[in-house]
Amino acid sequence: MTRSDGTGAGEAHGGSAPGARPATSAPAAVRGGGGPASFHAMWDELRPIGRHADSGGYRRFAWTGADADCRAWFRAQAESRGLAYEVDRNGNQWAWLGDPLAGDAVVTGSHLDSVPDGGAFDGPLGVVSSFAALDELRARGAALTPLTRPLAITNFGDEEGARFGLACVGSRLAAGQLTKEKAYELRDADGTTLPQAMERAGYDPDAIGADPERLARIGAFVELHVEQGRALDLSGDRVGIASAIWPHGRWRFDFHGEANHAGTTRLVDRRDPMLTYAATVLAARQEAALAGAVATFGKIAVEPNGVNAIPSLVRGWLDSRAADQATLDTVVTAVEKAAREQAGRDGIDLDVVRESFTPVVEFEHALRDELNRILGGAVPVLGTGAGHDAGILSAAVPTAMLFVRNPTGVSHSPREFAAEDDCTAGVLALADVLEGLACR
Ligand code: HGY
Ligand code: MN
Ligand code: MN
């Protein structure tokens, strides 16, 4: 986050968000202002890692060089603060203050990986704010010693699933929602498997698997995240608390046609899967609009992918999300039905595979309300269509989320940003929450 001297990706703009009304009269924790200088230093160090010069977006994919650099940055932050650093069996990073084995720990953190050409804040804002919140607590002289509960900061690996196609791999493995066998089946576009990538990055893939003992030692997990929407901008608040995460999933549609010459094959003789794919994309938009849901075909792979060749195979990935399970099921069923009908007309064979699914997450009310009480009771509570590690962990651990205002709502884009004062308000709110939970 810079002092508004930049305009590219990752450059937060100084001052309050454009067009926002002054924040409600909330306590200092969410009013903004102040906050540790360490945030700027960490942000400046992290910003260049994995950033693509042309797009200004981030390409921090699991078990790549950029991921390794982010991990090295996390370890340096932990050790420079005298925190006990460790990596768990699934490659998630942990920085501890207090006894990691004592139990009932208060844990905060997020992820450092990105979607292709993602923004600077999705993930890193939560990790940087966690270290900055600890610095704030120490600056306040909060009674961190003796802590009434151990405190930890985490970086969960491969949250976006950009390389291997499954989101939240690190937290799903830990929570037992992804088996070692299924994880071993994951492979990237070059055919590299997840275990091969982990091994090349210096991690032992044989160790991966559920980590119930570790999760049992967590009393509360709080993830701070940039809002991926405009609810806070519209309400004029800097910080919000999550109520729920929409159910969502990823489905792979394989349209099998017949390769042929683009210049010599008559239209009537073609079995062109691209046509069926195109009709399916339009059907997805139509069904989502009808149901008040969302559906996106954002990724496609074409074989042989030649300008002058009718494809033999078109693979399209559908991401669909809705406020409730029934609506999501309705949309996906309708899209698959439309795709199969069009495939019949086009002479195409269609396979549909559900590659990942996350049921609705209702964050635990007791912890959600505790956060609001700590922050003065007037913090807006809002749902989200974005998945998070906190959503995965919520099945095993009391979890909550803090959102920081995003004035445009844009995310998964180099244009994602958050204003400096709002980031500071997030740090102060997280510091209050950690103090309220771990330093009773
Ligand atoms: O896809 C998501 O909602 C998250 O960014 N992984
Ligand atoms: Mn994301
Ligand atoms: Mn995220």
- HSE of 260 in the Cβ direction (CA atoms, 13 Å)? 15
Residue 17 pLDDT > 80:
no
Residue 33 pLDDT > 70:
no
Residue nearest to atom 4 of ligand 1 (CA): 387
Torsion-angle region of 217 (φ positive above 0: left; ψ -120 to 50: alpha; else: beta):
alpha
pLDDT band at 67 (very low <50, low <70, confident <90, very high): very high
> In testing the pocket of ligand 1, which one of 58, 168, 246, 388 has its CB within 8 Å of the most ligand atoms?
388
pLDDT band at 142 (very low <50, low <70, confident <90, very high): low
How far does the centroid of ligand 1 lie from the alpha carbon of residue 2, in Å? 25
Specify the DSSP class assigned to residue 268.
G
Question: According to the model, what pLDDT value does residue 143 have?
Answer: 55
Question: According to the model, what pLDDT value does residue 139 have?
Answer: 87
Q: Give the distance, in angstroms, between the CA of residue 413 and the centroid of all CA atoms in the same chain.
A: 13
Estimate the crossing angle of helix 420-438 against helix 365-374, to 10 degrees.
110
Ligand 1, atom nearest to 386 Cα: 3
How far does the centroid of ligand 1 lie from the alpha carbon of residue 260, in Å? 37
Residue nearest to atom 6 of ligand 1 (CA): 160
| CB of 159 closer than 6 angstroms to any ligand 1 atom | yes
Residue 57 pLDDT > 70:
yes
Residue 18 pLDDT > 90:
no
* pLDDT-above-70 percentage for the chain: 90
How far does the centroid of ligand 3 lie from the alpha carbon of residue 409, in Å? 13
Ligand 1, atom nearest to 159 Cα: 6
Two tokens, residue 9:
């990706």
Two tokens, residue 33:
């202002």
pLDDT band at 299 (very low <50, low <70, confident <90, very high): very high
Query: Largest Cα–Cα distance in the chain?
Result: 79
Two tokens, residue 300:
């496609």
CATH number of 248-358, picked from 3.30.360.10, 3.10.20.30, 3.40.50.10330, 3.30.70.360: 3.30.70.360
How far does the centroid of ligand 3 lie from the alpha carbon of residue 279, in Å? 31
Q: Which helix (H) or strand (E) holds 86?
A: strand 84-87
Q: Which residue spans of the chain are classified as CATH 3.40.630.10?
A: 9-246+360-438
Distance (Å, rounded) from C-alpha 416 to C-alpha 419? 11
Burial letters 143-159, b for 16+ CB under 10 A, else e = ebeebebbbbbbbbbbb
| CB of 167 closer than 6 angstroms to any ligand 1 atom | yes
Question: According to the model, what pLDDT value does residue 37 have?
Answer: 76
Residue 12 pLDDT > 70:
no
Q: What average pLDDT score do residues 219-244 get?
A: 98
The structure tokens 């990073």 sit at: 93
Residue 365 pLDDT > 80:
yes
Residue 173 pLDDT > 60:
yes
How far does the centroid of ligand 1 lie from the alpha carbon of residue 51, in Å? 19
Tell me the pLDDT tens digit for each residue of 261-282.
999 999 999 999 999 999 999 9
> In testing the pocket of ligand 1, which one of 111, 228, 246 has its CB within 8 Å of the most ligand atoms?
228
pLDDT band at 35 (very low <50, low <70, confident <90, very high): low
Q: Which residue spans of the chain are classified as CATH 3.30.70.360?
A: 248-358
Distance (Å, rounded) from C-alpha 203 to C-alpha 406? 35
Ligand 1, atom nearest to 122 Cα: 5
Residue 20 pLDDT > 60:
no
Tell me the pLDDT tens digit for each residue of 282-298.
999 999 999 999 999 99
Two tokens, residue 330:
């309705």
Residue 29 pLDDT > 80:
no
Ligand 1, atom nearest to 411 Cα: 5
Average pLDDT in the chain? 92
pLDDT band at 141 (very low <50, low <70, confident <90, very high): confident
Question: Is 3.40.630.10 the CATH classification of the domain at 9-246+360-438?
Answer: yes
Q: Which of 20-24, 40-44, 84-88, 357-361 has the lowest mean pLDDT?
A: 20-24
Q: What's the pTM value of the predicted model, to 2 decimals? A: 0.90
Q: Cα 418–406–410 angle (5° rounding)? A: 105
pLDDT band at 16 (very low <50, low <70, confident <90, very high): very low
Q: What average pLDDT score do residues 166-195 get?
A: 98
Residue 213 pLDDT > 50:
yes
Residue type at position 296 = T
Residue 214 pLDDT > 80:
yes
Spatial contact of 245 and 360, defined as CB atoms under 8 Å apart: yes
Q: What average pLDDT score do residues 142-148 get?
A: 65
Nearest to 120 by CA among 232, 229, 8: 8
| CB of 160 closer than 6 angstroms to any ligand 1 atom | yes
How far does the centroid of ligand 3 lie from the alpha carbon of residue 281, in Å? 25
